[in-house]
């Protein structure tokens, strides 16, 4: 039975991932994600339902538009499959708990923000700001039903702490930190703080570590210079993901080295 529901969640993840492709394309342009229906970016013909099945349609069409024959980017099925995989990771980690909806939402909005940041080097307010409300409301479920109000309070304190830390960095070093990153930091602090202070510290640290490693690698490969702008949101989000899954163990291991 658990396998059956996991399969249903994966299918739902694929469908939501297909919608995220619309979000990724339209939100940075300030367009509606509801209307009009999806169209081929090359010929403008509306995509039919049979050609809009996540991953499968892309494979059956051999990555080409049925109408004009122009290539369809592989990013569409990658986002869809990647999103389904993220939802399964969250299910594996949290199980069928009251926490799960909050972290499914975080996985969805986080994936959309990461791809948008890579594309545009921006983290749209239309996604980050509502996430405080949505994530805060979803975390009320375990707080109310499991009675874990201390974790809920810690979540908001952590959101304030990480937001404040990034805000200070943006003021001190504005060329290296955007205010989109500051707003995202509060969202991530909310989720990580629910899990614990250790997860918050690990997630914040990993974001900077991953960013430094890639930035240093690109400089060594002469693909970037000191003044090159590298979107930091994806590293923040990846660091948070790793901290959600393994942050507790990493923090305990670190504390053990101090004793």
pLDDT at 217: 81
Contact indicator for 84, 14 with CB cutoff of 8 Å? yes
The Cα–Cα gap between 64 and 71 comes to 4
| pLDDT, tens digit (0-9, with 9 covering 90-100), for 165-191 | 999 999 998 877 889 999 999 999 999
What 8-state DSSP symbol labels residue 97? S
pTM assigned to the model: 0.94
User: Per-domain residue ranges for the chain?
Assistant: 1-96, 97-259
Residues 6 or more apart from 40 whose CB is under 8 A from it?
47, 65, 67, 68, 70
Q: Residue 150 above 70 pLDDT?
A: yes
Pick from 147, 134, 127, 237: which is nearest to 192 by CA? 237
The pLDDT value given to residue 174: 80
Is the predicted pLDDT of residue 34 greater than 90, yes or no? no
Per-residue pLDDT, averaged over 149-155, amounts to: 97
Rounded to an integer, the average pLDDT of 206-226 is 80
pLDDT tier at 155, thresholds 50, 70, 90: very high
Taking only the tens place, the pLDDT of each residue in 79-98 is 999 999 999 999 999 999 99
- Cα distance between residue 24 and residue 109, in whole Å: 10
Tokens 């169209």 correspond to: 39
pLDDT value at residue 227: 64
Query: CA distances (Å), 185 to each of 97, 178, 204, 216, in order?
Result: 25, 11, 9, 23
How far is residue 254 from each of residues 2, 204, 251, 257, measured CA to CA in Å? 34, 15, 5, 5
Residue 228: is its pLDDT beyond 70? no
What angle (nearest 5°) sits at the alpha carbon of residue 189, between those of residues 186 and 192?
155
Q: Could you tell me which of 81, 63, 80 has the C-alpha nearest to residue 72?
A: 63
For residue 74, what pLDDT band results from cuts at 50, 70 and 90? very high
Whole-number Cα distances in Å, 230 to 15, 166, 170, 180:
30, 17, 15, 13
Return d(Cα 100, Cα 94) in angstroms, integer.
6
């Amino acid at each position: 039975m658990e396998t059956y529901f996991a399969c249903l969640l994966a299918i739902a993840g694929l469908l939501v991932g297909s919608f995220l492709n619309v979000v990724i394309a339209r939100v940075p342009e300030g367009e509606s994600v509801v209307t009009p229906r999806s169209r081929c970016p090359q010929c403008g013909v509306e995509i039919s339902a049979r050609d809009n099945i996540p991953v499968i349609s892309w494979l059956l069409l051999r990555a080409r538009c049925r109408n004009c024959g122009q290539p369809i980017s592989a990013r569409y099925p990658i986002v869809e499959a990647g999103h389904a995989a993220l939802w399964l990771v969250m299910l594996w980690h949290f199980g069928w708990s009251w926490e799960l909806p909050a972290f499914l939402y975080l996985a969805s909005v986080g994936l959309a923000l990461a791809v948008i940041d890579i594309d545009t080097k921006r983290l749209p307010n239309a996604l980050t700001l509502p996430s405080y409300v949505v994530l805060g409301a979803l975390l009320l479920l375990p707080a109310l039903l499991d009675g874990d109000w201390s974790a809920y309070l810690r979540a908001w304190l952590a959101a304030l702490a990480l937001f404040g830390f990034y805000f200070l960095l943006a003021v001190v070093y504005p060329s290296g930190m955007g205010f989109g990153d500051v707003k995202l930091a509060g969202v991530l602090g909310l989720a990580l703080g629910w899990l614990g202070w250790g997860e918050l510290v690990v997630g914040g640290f990993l974001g900077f570590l991953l960013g430094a490693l890639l930035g240093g690698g690109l400089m060594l490969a002469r693909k970037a210079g000191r003044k090159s702008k590298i979107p930091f949101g994806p590293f923040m989000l990846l660091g948070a993901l790793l901290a959600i899954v393994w942050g507790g163990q990493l923090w305990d291991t670190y504390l053990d080295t101090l004793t």
